[in-house]
Amino acid sequence: MGHPTIYPTGVTVYDPEKCWNGLTIFQAQEVGAVLMDMNGREVNVWKGVLGMPNKIFPGGYLMTSRGRRDGKFSVQDGIDVVQVDWEGKVVWKFDQNEFIEDPGYEGRWIARYHHDFQREGNPVGYYAPGMEPKTDSGNTLVLAHRNARNSAISDKQLLDDLILEVNWEGEIVWEWNCHEHFEEFGFREGPKNTLARNPNYRPTKPEGMGDWMHINSMSVLGPNKWYDAGDQRFHPDNIIVDGREANITFIIDKKSGKVVWKLGPDYDSTPELKAIGWIIGQHHCHMIPAGLPGAGNILIFDNGGWGGYDVPNPGSPTGVKAALRDYSRVLEIDPVAMKIVWQYTPSEAGFLFPMDSNRFYSPFISGMQRLPNGNTLITEGSDGRVFEVTPDHKIVWEFISPYWGKHVPMNMTYRAYRVPYEWVPQVKKPAETPIKPLDVFSFRVPGAAALGDRAKEVTVDGCVPYGGSNALCVASVDDDDKK
């Protein structure tokens, strides 16, 4: 965080030789879904939609939503999930989760969808070789809400997460209710006490509700090497989700509904978890699909910020959102060895840790996509930044959203995806014009003095040479190394 007042938006870095070139879809705040080329030219804008996320499917189809329920009555309830064609015509729709009669509104079906959906044929909703999402048939998994009461969690009304599988006709054929699996998450007594008092209360009408888990990502594992080797926890039909309010990522057995693998909610119970460190308020946890570099590993956008339940402490007087950190991490984890095998953190970004770590930081939303050439497309969502990094952490493409909202005055973007040109036959392959990063040392806005425009300089006797120093106000990584 800590942006300057003036900085460029749009595409700021582009090295076509090192990128996995294609089109990029993102949500322009309070505008709609924008599909753009590598230089930032907008090839189509579906105005008015509110995709969380937007996804492009083969044939130039957009999966998105047409808006949200009034926030007075619930939290982030999308009214529907729709598949629209290149011209914006709805070709598939789901909304029959719940028939809602909010004060001031006609009774209507609402999907209460939020944060994610997946169409049969592809486990994660982005390009993977040989796994195209179906566009004229197939079932769709939808992450949704349903209010619930469960005294084992709290006596407060809960805004529970729900996974629905709906068929092409829009009928629910399978569902999974999060609160029914509370005992499987392994909360300690302290966090349970906090949850019981305050399950992340949201002051909705006519009754408040506890957004206690807040799942923000849901995808299928798909074919993977772990299952092929006999590990039933990773059955291709199983579903991986993460709950940001509990700092937990887990895999649901599709057949039984049971939690069969989990990471969190605590990170201090085994040497492996301690090595991974606390994952806080994470987003977009998913298994890298077969056929992509790192297949079978789990990608996590570890936001930092604030998340999890624990006993009250100075950073969290009530015990809600108890773990804190002021920078983000993108982690690639081997889910069997429970070991980080690749990461992009402030250190890899070149920021001095921890003093300057918050320069890679999105405390909410965000995500990442593994690309076929091994690069990773990262959405640092809160500040509308999307960038592509190579396996050795070099930024080869970067985009800053120029869309600030009026209702929400941020240029945030929830989650961007890179799409192969072949998936959008309506667009002729665009020109790929390299953009060298600006030299920020010498770049000046009009009217500013040029670098080195110095009227005078003097030398002071007795100064010692500049050098590395541990005299900063907080300990640095270097200090640790010297122990």
Shortest distance, position 172 Cβ to another protein, whole Å: 5
Q: Smaller CB distance to another protein: residue 84 or 239?
A: 239
Which residue number, 105 or 174, has a Cβ lying nearer to another protein? Answer: 174
Contact 345, 327 (CB under 8 A): yes
Do 240 and 222 touch, CB atoms closer than 8 A? no
How far apart are alpha carbons 367 and 302 in whole angstroms? 9
| DSSP characters over 43-111 | EEEEET---TT-EEETTTEEEE---B--TTTSSS-BS-EEEE-TTS-EEEEE-TTEEE--TTS--EEE-
Q: CB of 173: closest distance to another protein in angstroms?
A: 6
Copy the structure tokens of residue 252. 């649901």
Alpha-helical regions (H) of 229-319 = 271-276
Min dist CB 179 to another protein, Å, is: 12
CB closer to another protein out of 9 and 96: 96
d(CA 422, CA 427): 9
What are residue 100's DSSP bridge partners?
A: 108
Task: Give me the phi and psi of 193, to 5 degrees please.
Answer: -65, -45
Residues that bind another protein (CB under 8 A): 96, 99, 101, 107, 109, 171-175
Residue 263, beta-bridge partner list: 249
User: Please, which residue, 149 or 188, has the CB nearer to another protein?
Assistant: 149
| Residue 329 DSSP SS3 | strand
Q: Output 150 or 194, the one with its CB closest to another protein.
A: 150
Please state the closest distance from residue 139 (CB atom) to another protein, in A: 12
| Shortest reach from residue 134's CB to another protein, in Å | 20
Residue 82 · residue 50 · CB < 8 Å: no
How many CA atoms lie within 13 Å of 239's alpha carbon, on the beta-carbon side? 29
Q: Give the shortest CB-65-to-another protein separation in angstroms.
A: 21
Among residues 331, 323, 239, which one has the least CA distance to residue 283?
331
Cβ proximity to another protein: between 109 and 351 the closer is 109
**Nearer residue to another protein within complex by CB, 120 or 175:** 175
Pick 173 or 275: Cβ nearer another protein = 173
Rounded to a whole number of angstroms, the minimum distance from the CB of residue 181 to another protein is 14
Q: Which structure tokens are listed for 435?
A: 């953009």
Closer residue to another protein, CB minimum distance, 166 or 280: 166
List, in order, residues 6 or more apart from 99 with CB less than 8 Å away: 107, 108, 109, 110
What's the closest the beta carbon of residue 253 comes to another protein, in angstroms? 13
R_g over Cα of the chain? 23
In the complex with another protein, which residue's Cβ is closer, 253 or 266? 253
Nearest to 388 by CA among 330, 461, 443, 307: 330
- 65 with 79: CB under 8 angstroms? yes
- Residue 405 in tokens: 């909202």
Specify the residue, 34 or 100, whose C-beta has the smaller distance to another protein.
100
Helices and strands counted in the chain (H then E): 5, 31
Q: β-pairing, 42-47 with 23-28?
A: unpaired
Residue 97's region, left for phi above 0, alpha for psi from -120 to 50, else beta, is alpha
Q: Report in angstroms how near the CB of residue 472 gets to another protein at its nearest.
A: 57
Shortest Å distance, C-beta 52 to another protein: 25
Q: Least CB distance from residue 165 to another protein, whole Å?
A: 9
Count of Cβ atoms closer than 10 Å to residue 349 Cβ: 20
Q: What angle do CA 247, 358, 402 make, to 5 degrees?
A: 100
